[in-house]
Amino acid sequence: MKKLDWFILKKFLSTFFFGILLFTVIAIVIDLSEKTDNFVRSQLGFFNIVRLYYYGFIPYIIALLFPLFVFISVIFFTSKMAGNTEIIPILASGISYNRWLRPYYVGGTFLAIILWLSNLYVIPKANQIRSSFEARYVDKDNSYEQLTANTNTSIYFKIDSFTYAGILGYDTLFKRGGPFFMNRIENNKVILNTRAESISWDTISKKWVLQNVFKRRVLPINETVTSIDKEVVDFNFKPLDLSRDKFTKDKLTSAQLERFIKLEESRGSEGINDLKVELYRRDATPVTVFLLTLIGAIVAGRKVRGGSGAHLALGFITAAAFIITDRFSTIFSTKGNLPPLIAAWIPNAIFVLVALRLYYKAPK
């Protein structure tokens, strides 16, 4: 890394962080104006609203706009350099085109890693905070009303390949319900029937607690019946696996989401493609950041009539094309038969070709 590399990299990162910070402030102001009535009705103080909502909203909005602002930042400062005739002398001095792109490689990789790590851990935690507040105080037709008002929800699911269970009247808010039953089947016959008066989640041991348990084991010749007042069981499902709301896939870390997908597949649930697209997109979006960095540098590195305006217009058209491609591939996967892995990576595959074409056509 030479002085030139640090010069370009400093411009890149300072433009990006200033732009994303400025727009985040604008987004907060707009969101605050839209939700003022909800904040007043919640009767929460300023610090509680910040803690219970904006601690989650700010990382969410930054992650949502991250690739777009990387692209715009690259186009903006590179176009300024081209307009000030700073790039032509760099290339004319004997520095190769690839060498000039080196700080863009470094900056794009650095920001892609930040977004990737955030998608794995930070953003899901932020979505838990944001979605919990919105479900409770903003969207009255969402899951919180169902959790608090509809406590008689029955859940039936598959624990493993041979075990089926059900909870009658499960309350996802307090993580308890009952009665509970579980049947283990082998050779199309029930070999173990377990019933309990109630089931609840122990937050200390991180296990399920069954009360007034009745077990009936069917043997080839006879059967045995046992009764237990209390039993602590380590099932392979957690309280979050039993919740059903539109924020579920956003609130899970990648490891939790992967486990949740496997559990839903074993249950034979529908709508798994939506979960898989979300999982694969968390890895695909950081690659998008890197690709948009290179495309922005190649496009804006050429001095053209119209200056930054022409470059920014082309940048917005490219960003719109990417968003449209991403939306179409997602719809074809969730509503059709397109494999989720392909749906998540189609935009990147297309824009790799775009980046290669722009690279070979760029004046060097």
What is the per-residue DSSP string for 23-79?
HHHHHHHHHHHHSHHHHHHHT--HHHHIIIIIHHHHHHHHHHHHHHHHHHHHHHHHH
Greatest CA separation found in the chain?
Answer: 92
Distance of alpha carbon 154 from alpha carbon 156, whole angstroms: 7
pLDDT in tens, 177-209: 888 888 888 888 888 889 999 889 888 888 899
Q: Check residue 132 and give its pLDDT.
A: 79
Average pLDDT over residues 336-363: 84
Two tokens, residue 189? 């016959």
Average pLDDT over residues 20-34: 89
Tell me the CA end-to-end span of the chain in Å, nearest whole number. 21
pLDDT in tens, 103-141: 999 999 999 999 999 988 889 888 888 887 887 777 654
Q: What is the pTM (predicted TM-score) of this model?
A: 0.73
Question: Which residue(s) pair with 155 in the sheet?
Answer: 167
Q: Check residue 267 and give its pLDDT.
A: 66
Q: Where are the domains of the chain?
A: 3-141+272-361, 149-243
For residue 92, count CB atoms less than 10 angstroms from its CB and return exposed for 0-12, middle for 13-18, buried for 19 or more: exposed
Of residues 261, 277, 276, the one with CA closest to residue 328: 277
- The answer to whether residues 194 and 213 touch, using CB atoms and an 8 Å cutoff, is yes
More confident: 204 or 151 = 204
Distance of alpha carbon 60 from alpha carbon 57, whole angstroms: 5
